[in-house]
Structure 1
Amino acid sequence: MAEVSSRSGCASAMAKFAVLFVFSLLCTCRAQVPLIMWTSDGYTFPTLVEPTAGEIVSGAKLASYLKSALTTSPHNVLLFLQDELSMDDFTAYGGVYGNKEDSVFVNLESALQASTPMVLPALAWTAADSVEEIFQQELGVPALTIAPSELGQLQLNTAQPSLLVIRLPYTTGAQAKELLRKNDETIGYVLTTLRAQSVPYTAVYTGLRPSHVIQDTSMAWELAGRSLLQTSAEPAVKPPVTFNSTEGKPCILLWADELNISYDKGKFFDLGSLTFNGSVSLDGSFCNETFSSLVLNYENVLNFRSFQLIFLMRKIFFPVSARNWTVMEQVELNYDGQKAIFNASHGIYAPAEYSFHCQKVSSAQSPLLVPRNTKDNATLWSVLFTDFQIQGFNVTGNFSYASDCASFFTPGIWMGLLTSLLMVFILTYGLHMIMQLRTMDRFDDPKGPSISVPQNE
């Protein structure tokens, strides 16, 4: 952990980011995220022992620092949890290398300049993943996940501690800058709302995982080998879609290589690029102990203004196996007030502790998705999901062991077995023919006298 303190009228917030970035370059940990913590006007953090450069903060050490910091700071804590965050985001989009007027962190910088922040440039990924639980233990209150628009409806009691969690999305590529700008506007809106209510606060901005992984130099030399300069060493992997329960814990996971849909025998349209970039809306999703519904909301898809892709799953106990199973009952397509419903209970199921995986989930060849009614709108649609994986119950963070849809005797295995049986039959028949060969008892020499057999008269 590293503490960065700014005396009033001295270093600006962006100078702090530059110093913290230099510290983060010294870290060799491959999974670390920054954590920025500040207070409202009139509150400061106690003086903490400054650690050595490059130190990675663990969960236990973070808890000890929070215990000291929360002694003088307000106990109304705002926890801004972004899906991914790294120090590179501040240096790339915070105006450190360029014009500061181009910074996307306008509201965050203003809040830091008006306070005495505490910044951890190298927080261990394991601690970042459980930072919500750490704050709950220190405050002794459960976390409440809310949307920024709902903040004005809450009546916070300054005498009682509270932990409000605001989740922020993240995406890589060209849309990262604009999404970070929107996240900064969300932070500014929340802080302005609390100031209007005269509620003192302690704000925390961090990520659940790093957006840029710092490469370990020793490992990079061992694994690099020959490669083109233009080729990335590690291909980007799309994170799964995660829906959290009311307690803030993940309860539904979805991942696929492609989510192709087609209307009225037209060309396939892939929803994957809109789904796994962190911007898809999950409004309407729901989960409990026996039922899970994942709703993916889109706009302007195949000339439809509103479009929803819905997965309905249920946990059912089967007495024959004496265990609970996850059964996907339906896949629905809602478009401009109309519905197309596919039944999926015959092929999409897995033990409740596992996730379901299938290389191809289709409504055409060998369909796992069947239209509920032949006269339904589903007959106008074609669905094809490739490398599809979903889990609706017993989610612990990542996907559990996958129960694959492929049967043991695949077409390739049948072809190999039949070919092997044919070769064994031919070999057996040949050996049987060779074993039936017999040699002659007597031989006639054509150059010598013929064999005469005397006969008695």
Structure 2
Amino acid sequence: MATAGTLPLQCISPALLVLLLGTLSSCEEQVPLVLWTHQWTPQANQPLPAAGHIVEQQQLSGYLDTILNTGPRNVLLFLQDKMSVEDFTLYGGAFGNKQDSVFPNLESALRSSSSSLVLPAVSWPASNAVIGHLQEQLETSPLYMDPDALSQLTLNASSPALLVFRLPYYIGSDLMSAKEVLSGNDEVMGQVVSVMKSQSVPYTAIYTALRPSRGSPSVAMEAALAGGRSLLQARGGYRDRERERERQRKMKERAGVYAPVDFKACESSCILLWAKGLSVSILRSGRWESHDLTPATFGEGVSPKLHGSSCDKSKARLTLNYENILGHRDFKLIFKLSQRHYRVSARRWFTLDAVELEYDGTKATFNGSRNIYAPAEYSYRCESVSSFRWPQLIPRSSKDPANQWRVAFEDFQIQGFNVSGGEFSYASDCAGFFSAGIWMGLMTSLLMVLVLTYGLHMIMQLHTMDRFDDPKGPAISVPQTE
């Protein structure tokens, strides 16, 4: 272990790791953080957290900055939904049965790493800020990946990368369910580390969580002593079932639906585009002439020409090349996207800057950056995108040739950054908050309020009579005539 006053980056044995984690008391507001690197990292003169000390965001940022400045800048972030120190003391072999530990791959990685860092007590707001801090320091967007897609990604030691692997944490009716999930998560880490070793790329790995699992120490101790020695039937079975369910769900969703346009760079997907309908129209002699580009762009066996397309970390360009469209021999439909960091939201966003029509040396440009945008790690989806009828695409100027054109997309989806495995990421939908049903409810409520207000106003206008008949006075006689 490192001496006091130095950053604890030396290799830590699994037994010592368990003892370190097991000596700390449970706290519902803390999560552990484990870090290891593939190559030697020089030590830095920074004070160690004392026993029982909670590492806050500023102190954690100092540790991470030291490691990123001196160590590998290809970072693997294993981000679990929930985790507490009890998960290591209960399932990490802390009760003498090392063969029953569910973290063999993590322990092996720590044992073989050049340097390690273990923080048993990190405040969960600090752990939530880890991904944002890494993104700023590495100056790159996070890639949310799964182990199967990692083998298809080519990494470079000179180019920083932030690869995020989300890991679940569930507690079912019995405590064994949590053990099974942690075992599956450990297998995921082992699979990722194996891929990185096969590519011979130096890396820095971080294992932490977003929230504490809030496990009770007494319950955890009893469960470990009573049933901690029960072996799993098949380690990793939960992850296998989840992957199979996800694969079947995607197959059902894609059944009978054509694949998106997929532009690849370095044999990995870079830009994805999909639409149920795609058409362009031109105004000639006071009439609109339309052409449906869907059959030439999407469908089984259709391979659109994408020469002229390109992509990098900040800009992406997708060029669809056509022939003989509305009297133009060479016709191009170009999508220009860009992404950058916005300080106000403290995250990266991408925008569809322009949709261009290029034909016979003429270029018609529609601006879409004001209406078409999404977080950099998401895709953008909208039921209808067009340059007319509540347009999202607007001509660049009143004199631009785009005023003579119309572009329409039906069920439009696009992603130009952080594409993983040839699949769209989570979609940021353009649907507004006030739907038709919400408007109907609001109008009905407003009408009822108006009726109630009018009724109250009428009641307030009622007054008592200021004169009454005198009961002691002479009776009113009505003469009768025959």
TM-score, length-scaled by structure 2: 0.43
TM-score, length-scaled by structure 1: 0.45
